[in-house]
Amino acid sequence: MKIVLVGYMGSGKSTIGKILAKKLGLPLIDLDDYIETAEAMPIPEIFTRKGEVYFRKKEFEYLKELLDSKKEFVLSTGGGTPCYGENMNAIGNATPNVFYLKVSIAGLIGRLVSEKEHRPMIADIPDKELPDFIGKHLFERSYFYAKANHSISCENKEVASVVAEIQAHLV
């Protein structure tokens, strides 16, 4: 069984993925961590040294490598992963267990504002500009996120509740 979690940064992909994987006895693979290990450098450094085009090409290659493998896992993708190239089509073709973890703009801001320094994409954005930035991104990405087989609202829910909801939809 392959389970893929997609959604905006701060939507809970890593947190929910860890608990879901543990409950199912499957390994959790964080795609960003996988890429960093394979490329032997952090993602921000890949962007700086080799550029976004290189990163997105490698992201697709490593994603396909995982999806084409015989391994079973829970995969937590990067927030932008579904939005580039053929990534979302590859994910959808590999498994029916694709879950969009959906959180409102206000919910994302509540989760992200205290983590800004650990989130390079928003680290330099003033708090008062976060709603517009996140709203614009979410609008641009919603088309891709909507291709997931299941959309799970994570708004004001306990992690255990979201995990149980995902488990109820597994094929």
How does pLDDT run along the chain (171 residues), one tens digit per residue?
Answer: 999 999 999 999 999 999 999 999 999 999 999 999 999 999 888 988 998 899 999 999 999 999 999 999 999 999 999 999 999 999 999 999 999 999 999 999 999 988 887 787 888 899 999 999 999 999 999 999 999 999 999 999 999 999 999 999 998
CA distance 165 to 89: 24
Q: Domains in the chain, start-ordered, CATH in brackets? A: 2-169 (3.40.50.300)
* Separation in Å, CA 4 to CA 54, 134, 156: 23, 22, 22
Other Cβ atoms less than 10 A from the Cβ of 115: the count is: 12
- 103 Cα distance to chain centroid: 13
Beta strands in the chain (DSSP E): 2-6, 28-30, 73-76, 98-102, 150-153
pTM for this model (two decimals) = 0.94
Q: What is the DSSP letter of 78?
A: P
